[in-house]
């Protein structure tokens, strides 16, 4: 229930709409002042009276009911106290009956949302730069499905370009098949680096690489087989990470998939008079829109990243008839997306407005946190492994007798990586710190998971769930916790609307904090009466359910014990 709206509709002020009043209502920082408050200062001008008077008049005309117990004027504020028992009863009933569907809805009405995320590059190791897109995209995928959309996860593989010609050239020179099979992408990377080093003094290697790339394009069996093998090796490498993070895709149609789908796009651009020649290249001029031109074909007739993205967008519209198509890609590519979205708009595609670049900031590692295997590239697998290892140490220290420590450490370690990447607004750059993400007392998934384990332990000691009733007077700790649980469904909606899974992560921490205040402030198993005990157990069960649902949306599991 939207209490702000409910209250606003019960207040009558000449010339001010209920929406305007609802927008003014706030939650006072001190619950002793009431659950909601209307500051009357902004109304003074319209109503031509002073705020104190307005508050008093509104109080006199307000009729208390089963939802709002009382309205009380205090200076320029009108404070409202909700009927706690009724409200808490509603929330508990809802959570406990809906179970793992609590927070879900059919708001999406089956509409398709394509989500382009992770989109790794072939023959490159999965590095920390692809962490955010992977976990953000996967969270949005789960959130959209939870809200009744039909999410289509697309891994737009980076599998096109002369670099693959270089790789074939390198492999033919120094490649050792068995060695590469054994070491995977790391070995491919080694020969690729070597190729670049040698090409500095042997520029003719560039021509060789171009020729090999052309052969891939022409589907020469030998080159194509090598290219497919590189792809296979890469996918084997990333599959390990996707498994750990529980990330899935419905399509792996990457850049090369569009090789034969670009010509019609170029043709359409030409027909519509949008193509212009510029120094031999074919471009779409975007000067009018304050952007550099979007290059469609290079001088030698080869396509570009943008050309393939345009073909991909058109293909996705035709194939999935999406309601929205999201691109979860770093903000460094802002211009690229703005440009090709604009070109599609100029082509007269009405759905160009449904393309959304969900941009995010950079992730770097705290100085000295890890020595990398090579240079300054930080491999994601190493980060996850190290987090699991550290989680094992932290968990063992906290609870040496814990059973299946490995499983717990995996859930905790992987959770810490995901939560660490999702906790802040996506556009912010983040500095990843092992100690920070694994802190039991911080704003972390470990803290939330530990809270769940605490709730679980209480529930296990209590045994079978009994009937409960909400007592007439609900204490502050209980009420604050219930209010926080109640905001989960609206938070999921907001996360989808703003493409901000961090809102869910933040609510998890808020609920955990409120639960711990309740846990330490109220006796649960040793409550004064059996009725009170059952009510508090119901509140504990509802907390565990809400946190489990919330963490699941982020891709984080909940260990039973910790």
Contact residues toward ligand ARG (CB under 6 A) are 116, 119, 121, 156, 158, 309, 327, 329
CB nearer to ligand ARG: pick between 158 and 489:
158
CA–CA gap between residue 160 and residue 254 (Å, rounded): 8
Q: Shortest gap between Cβ of 112 and ligand ARG (angstroms)? A: 17
List phi, psi (to 5°) of 309.
-65, -35
Q: Locate tokens 């999935």: which residue?
A: 320
CB nearer to ligand ARG: pick between 292 and 530:
292
CB nearer to ligand ARG: pick between 121 and 303:
121
CB nearer to ligand ARG: pick between 116 and 382:
116
Q: Locate tokens 């943008």: which residue?
A: 306
Cα Rg of the chain, angstroms: 29
Q: Shortest gap between Cβ of 332 and ligand ARG (angstroms)? A: 8
CB nearer to ligand ARG: pick between 79 and 119:
119
CB nearer to ligand ARG: pick between 130 and 215:
130
CA–CA gap between residue 197 and residue 323 (Å, rounded): 47
Q: Shortest gap between Cβ of 137 and ligand ARG (angstroms)? A: 10
Q: Which helix (H) or strand (E) holds 344?
A: helix 334-346
CB atoms within 10 A of CB 240: 14
CB nearer to ligand ARG: pick between 119 and 451:
119
Report the largest interatomic distance among the alpha carbons of the chain, rounded to a whole angstrom. 89
Q: Locate tokens 């059952």: which residue?
A: 534
Q: List the structure tokens of 419.
A: 């939560």
Q: Shortest gap between Cβ of 33 and ligand ARG (angstroms)? A: 49
53-84 burial, b at 16+ Cβ within 10 Å, e below that, comes to ebbebbbeebeeeebbbebebeebbbbbbbbb
Q: Shortest gap between Cβ of 300 and ligand ARG (angstroms)? A: 22
Q: Shortest gap between Cβ of 314 and ligand ARG (angstroms)? A: 13
Question: H helices of 112-200, where?
Answer: 131-146, 163-174, 177-183, 185-199
Q: Shortest gap between Cβ of 133 and ligand ARG (angstroms)? A: 7
CB nearer to ligand ARG: pick between 35 and 159:
159
CB nearer to ligand ARG: pick between 4 and 316:
316
Q: Shortest gap between Cβ of 134 and ligand ARG (angstroms)? A: 11
Sheet containing 36-39: order of strands: 36-39, 77-82, 68-74
CB nearer to ligand ARG: pick between 121 and 451:
121
27: left (phi over 0), alpha (psi -120 to 50) or beta: beta
Give the E-state strand segments of 3-111 in sequence order: 36-39, 68-74, 77-82
List phi, psi (to 5°) of 423.
-70, -25
Asked whether the beta carbons of 487 and 503 are under 8 A apart, the reply is no
CB nearer to ligand ARG: pick between 376 and 529:
376
Asked whether the beta carbons of 511 and 428 are under 8 A apart, the reply is no
* Residue 45 CB-density burial (10 A; 0-12 exposed, 13-18 middle, 19+ buried): exposed
- Strands 150-154 and 275-278 turn out to be unpaired
Q: Shortest gap between Cβ of 304 and ligand ARG (angstroms)? A: 11
Sheet containing 294-297: order of strands: 275-278, 281-284, 294-297
Q: Shortest gap between Cβ of 3 and ligand ARG (angstroms)? A: 41
Q: Shortest gap between Cβ of 339 and ligand ARG (angstroms)? A: 12
């Amino acid at each position: 229930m939207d209490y702000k709206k409910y209250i606003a509709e019960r207040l009558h002020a000449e010339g001010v709409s209920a929406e305007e009043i609802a927008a003014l209502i706030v939650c006072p920082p001190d619950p002793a002042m009431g659950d909601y408050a209307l500051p009357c200062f902004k109304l003074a001008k319209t109503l031509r009276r002073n705020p104190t008077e307005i508050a008093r008049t509104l109080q006199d005309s307000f009729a208390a009911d089963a939802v709002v117990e009382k309205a009380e004027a205090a200076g320029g504020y009108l404070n409202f106290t909700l009927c706690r028992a009724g409200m808490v009863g509603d929330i508990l009933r809802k959570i406990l009956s809906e179970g793992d569907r609590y927070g879900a809805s059919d708001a999406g009405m089956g509409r398709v949302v394509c989500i382009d995320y992770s989109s790794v590059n072939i023959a490159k190791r999965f590095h920390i730069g692809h962490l955010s897109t992977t976990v953000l995209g996967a969270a949005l995928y789960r959130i959209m499905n939870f809200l009744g959309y039909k999410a289509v996860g697309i891994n737009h593989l980076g599998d096109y370009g002369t670099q693959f010609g270089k790789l074939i050239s390198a492999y033919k020179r120094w490649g050792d098949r068995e060695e590469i099979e054994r070491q995977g992408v790391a070995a491919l990377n080694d020969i690729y680096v070597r190729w670049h080093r040698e090409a500095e003094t042997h520029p003719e290697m560039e021509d060789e690489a171009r020729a090999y790339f052309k052969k891939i394009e022409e589907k020469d069996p030998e080159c194509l087989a090598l290219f497919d093998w590189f792809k296979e090796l890469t996918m084997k490498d990333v599959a390990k990470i996707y498994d750990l993070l529980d990330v899935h895709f419905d399509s792996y149609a990457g850049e090369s998939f569009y090789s034969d789908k670009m010509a019609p796009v170029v043709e359409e651009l030409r027909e519509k008079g949008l193509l212009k020649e510029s120094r031999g290249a074919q471009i779409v001029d975007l000067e009018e829109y304050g952007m550099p031109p979007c290059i469609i074909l290079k001088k030698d007739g080869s396509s570009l990243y943008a050309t393939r993205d345009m073909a991909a967008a058109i293909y996705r519209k035709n194939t999935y008839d999406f309601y929205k198509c999201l691109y979860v890609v770093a903000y460094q590519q802002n211009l690229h997306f703005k440009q090709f979205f604009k070109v599609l708009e100029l082509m007269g595609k009405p759905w160009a407005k449904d393309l959304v670049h969900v941009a995010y900031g950079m992730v770097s590692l705290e100085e000295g946190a890890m020595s990398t295997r090579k240079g300054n590239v930080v491999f994601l697998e190493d980060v996850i492994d190290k987090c699991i290892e550290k989680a094992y140490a932290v968990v063992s220290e906290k609870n040496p007798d814990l059973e299946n420590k490995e499983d717990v450490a995996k859930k905790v370690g992987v959770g810490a990586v995901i939560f660490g990447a999702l906790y802040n607004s996506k556009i912010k750059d983040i500095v990843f710190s092992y100690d920070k993400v694994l802190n039991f007392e911080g704003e972390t998934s470990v803290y939330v998971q530990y809270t769940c384990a605490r709730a679980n332990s209480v529930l296990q000691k209590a045994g079978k769930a009994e009937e409960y009733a909400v007592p007439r007077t609900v204490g502050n700790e209980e009420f604050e916790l219930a209010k926080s649980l109640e905001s989960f469904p609206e938070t999921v909606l907001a996360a989808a609307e703003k493409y901000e899974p961090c809102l869910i992560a933040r609510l998890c921490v808020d609920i955990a904090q409120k639960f711990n205040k309740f846990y330490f402030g109220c006796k649960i198993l040793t409550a004064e009466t059996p009725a009170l005990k059952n009510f508090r157990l119901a509140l504990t069960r509802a907390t565990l359910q809400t946190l489990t649902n919330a963490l699941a949306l982020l891709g984080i599991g909940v260990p039973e014990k910790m």
